[in-house]
Chains A and B, each alone.
Chain A
């Protein structure tokens, strides 16, 4: 068993600051794109940042920090002694009991200063960088596993939002660590045949988005499948009202090539989600006015276009927000992206039958809608 390779006890002059920086990495740090160091979630945020795509600012608490944590007070040996007794057939009650015992022990141990300090420093730096005092952050897992880098733990771990202050951040990072041993996770891992000790719990600490407006962007026209268009729908507050169809959002369409806005339609936005829990009424005078400026629409579309390029030209479905706390120029946030699926998978045929030949195409074209001489022509 190796000892404290990464984190010598006490910050010696030789190792201290250098090793500390490895416990946290901002999304802008080049190493932050390394899944092994920071987990999939943080790595993808760092990748987007590296590609010039704006995500809510924040930092990762690295897998190294977690490994260092488990060295503390013989935690690793302790959890092994509990977990070794469990098998997939142990039943949920046994997993829950394991959770109780481990949680109790971990909470009594607390966060070693060697890890807590860099987290506090990173949080303070985030406040300074964004110009927001006591910035509210979301803390969520970015778990990875040694032997299965690509293993997805989506939805297995909790996310805490609106965490405020350095003490709280440290506390919730530890909660993240503890959550590896929740009964639910343990049974899931057992089912998947993953040793909980292989889990490396890196953590993402990221500004909670305070959306002035938010919405969804497609890098094609969702109604016609036209790939030369970008379409955005947006409403006041968080994107929930748009995604949930609770308002008639504003609609914007741009030419993807030139980024000219060709459609700008104000919707009717009578409610908004300010904090993600319950909707509130939008004052009359804001309901029917556009919630995005032309500059914002164009900047978002430019991001969409880049994102599509980065993903090999596959049309993208992107959630975005305009953060009201961040200064202009830094306030556009991309929250999520996934490949568009409806049109991207449709079988696309060119206008003309390749076998019929050019003269047949021309003949069909000059005959307008009156004759179908250009071969089989088009469908849909």
Chain B
């Protein structure tokens, strides 16, 4: 890319993206409208595209691109058509080299903004006015959607249609149910993502209004101080981790710490977990503990290691070594005399004290507005904190489970060699292949495209592997002068400054800049991890570097001395959870997983959002990190 002093700095265009070696031909794997094209090139080159590695931290399998469709269809409907955000349409979405990129779209025409503002005030006003009631309905709706999805079955086809077709004179083959149920599954998944955005942007809107009030009243206030005033201390988001703490406490009381340590954690998790169960079942204390453990599993262990956007992510339930390892670590801490309980009352008192002190600095008129807006922010914030459990964890858990059942049906029908191959086809290709399977069965012939699909899947395997071994550049295209989309800023941490830093990052050899996620300064060697499966590699005192850390990584925070992520803003879950646990965090650095190497020593400052390289390259010694500035860190929760 050639640039002169007169051309504004930009990232490469989508069409200039370099395909990683071995990844050639990736475009053919995804629905055409997710792939940059000649027809849309002019439009694409007007926008800034940033990597949504928050949700897809790796190159996506073809089938997994369904999430990108569902999410940005959901964003689009609510932003553009339902609530009519005055200055924002939806986010356009593309897959580039397997990674998901999104582009905020602003509106500038004043007349159109005015018109949309009227629609927005009327429609959003209804939701804000009835928030608690509607949110209550939302929970019921989500629970029903999860039950509905879970009730979907894919019954393998026998030699004949069942007797019931005749007895009940249905007049149609049950093979039709397979296609119908596949479509229902897809539709339910899309519906869940509609529900997701029913409240999310309004939630952010309420929060941002309080945020902006605070920024004017206290021009220098730290973002974290604002969120600390609003954040809940006893919300659903912390429940899975709280369950682990409780089980750890129980293990200590029942004298099972050693048993768990020897049998729970480790790389061959599944096997060990089975052996551990057998051992626990042999004692009275063990059985007592197992009963509590099993009671916690549904629903709290239906919890993805990341966000559940990829089919191959484990939940705590599918890989019990993850929760068992965390329980064991917590139990060790308790045994060592540490208090790991989250003191809800104290946290709440601290929060109220901070609120009281800020409020005392305001004029009477300001204080009235402060009260109204804090109340608004606290009304909407539970949704921001809790919705992931319903959508990304519980719904996705069922969705992926059902796709696996379907994949197994296709293996049994002879189309696929193994269930994992399913995900190398996109959702339309699955539809087509399924149609082939069903119709061939009905006609009484061999599947007509068996060789065709198997060959295609084999072609795609090395492509996907190549895409996944490469990191995603943080952005493509031309940055706007100002990033005004509050949601891009709040959720993804994509700010005007961050974009400039990304643009200049190639030249910076001293470190990385990100968003202050959680206070504190820490020095130490880093551990670059792409998946929670690798968490056992994390050594005490290391600084965790990941594309994004989901709340389910929380237990790792008792080991890590700090956290650095590629993407995320101050409201991303990594930041929320790090603040809760008092671990310094710098989020949204753009390049951390690409630039840092395990063992390399860095200093991170969670207040300024900086990551400074302390040495040129990886350090062989991975000693304990030194807490540089303990006074900076908030009290541990």
Of residues 208 through 225 on chain B, the ones whose CB sits less than 8 Å from some CB of chain A are 208-209, 211-213, 216-222, 225
A371: contacting residue among B117, B121, B222, B607, CB under 8 A: B117
Expressed in whole angstroms, the Cα–Cα distance for A373 and B110 within the complex equals 11
Q: Closest A residue to B206 by CB, please name it.
A: A362
Q: Chain A: interface secondary structure?
A: loop
- Decide: A366 and B128 in contact? CB cutoff 8 A: no
Q: Interface residue tally of chain B, by bracket?
A: 35 or more
- The answer, yes or no, to whether A168 is at the interface (CB within 8 Å) is no
A359 to B124, CA, bound (A): 8
B95: interface (CB < 8 Å)? no
Q: How far is the CB of A356 from chain B (nearest CB, A)?
A: 11
Query: Is there a chain B Cβ closer than 8 Å to A151's Cβ?
Result: no
* Contact of B125 with A by CB under 8 A: yes
Type the 1/0 row for B464-507, where 1 means its CB is closer than 8 Å to any CB of A: 00000000000000000010111000000000000000000000
Tell me if B222 and A255 are in contact (CB < 8 A): yes
Q: How many A-B residue pairs have CB under 8 A?
A: 131
Contact partner of B368 (CB less than 8 A), chosen from A354, A362, A371, is A354
* B629: nearest chain-A partner, CB-CB: A294
- Given the known interface contacts A229-B220, A359-B121, A373-B117, the answer about A365 and B205 at a Cβ–Cβ threshold of 8 Å is yes
What 1/0 flags go to B70-98 for Cβ under 8 Å of A?
Answer: 00000000000000011110000000000
**Among B17-25, B334-342, B355-363, B451-459, the stretch in contact with A:** B355-363
User: Hey, which chain B residues are within 8 Å of A257, CB to CB?
Assistant: 225, 354, 357-358
Compute how far the CA of A227 lies from the CA of B376 in the bound complex, rounded to whole angstroms: 23
The complex places the Cα of A257 from the Cα of B360 at a distance, in Å, of 11
Cβ contacts under 8 Å, B124 to chain A: 359, 362-363
Contacts of B181-238 to chain A: CB distance below 8 A: 201, 204-206, 208-209, 211-213, 216-222, 225
Task: Please name all residues of chain A whose beta carbon is closer than 8 Å to the beta carbon of B373 when the two chains form the complex.
Answer: 361
B138 CB–A CB distance under 8 Å: no
| A370 and B108 within 8 A (CB) | yes
CB of A367 within 8 A of CB of B113, answer yes
Q: Does the CB pair B217–A366 fall under 8 Å? A: no
By a CB distance below 8 angstroms, the chain A residues around B634 are 258
Which residue in A229, A359, A370 is a CB contact (below 8 Å) of B128? A359
Q: Give complex CA distance A275, B607 in Å.
A: 39
Whether A363 contacts B220 by the Cβ 8 Å rule is: no
Q: Are B369 and A365 in contact (CB under 8 A)?
A: no
- Report the minimal beta-carbon distance from A154 to chain B, rounded to whole angstroms: 31
Which B residues are in CB contact (< 8 Å) with A294?
Answer: 631
How many interface residues does A have (CB within 8 Å)?
39
Is B365 close to A, CB under 8 A? yes
Q: Do residues B225 and A370 form an inter-chain contact, with CB atoms below 8 A?
A: no
Whole-angstrom CA separation of A313 from B367 in the bound complex: 14
**Chain A 365-379 per-residue mask, 1 if CB under 8 angstroms from chain B, else 0:** 111111101000010
Chain A residues proximal to chain B, CB less than 8 Å: 221, 224-229, 253, 255-258, 260-262, 294, 298, 313, 348-352, 354, 358-363, 365-371, 373, 378
A and B contact pairs by CB, cutoff 8 A, 28 listed? A224-B219, A224-B220, A225-B219, A226-B220, A229-B218, A257-B225, A257-B358, A260-B607, A260-B631, A294-B631, A313-B360, A313-B361, A348-B366, A350-B368, A350-B370, A354-B365, A358-B372, A365-B208, A366-B86, A366-B205, A366-B208, A367-B117, A367-B484, A368-B486, A370-B107, A370-B484, A373-B113, A378-B216
Interface, chain B (partner A; CB < 8 A)? 85-88, 106-108, 110, 113, 117, 120-121, 124-125, 128, 201, 204-206, 208-209, 211-213, 216-222, 225, 354, 357-358, 360-361, 363, 365-366, 368-370, 372-373, 376, 482, 484-486, 519, 607, 631-632, 634
Query: Assuming A359-B128, A369-B484, A370-B107, what are 9 further A-B pairs, CB within 8 angstroms?
Result: A228-B220, A260-B607, A350-B369, A351-B217, A358-B128, A365-B211, A366-B88, A366-B209, A368-B485
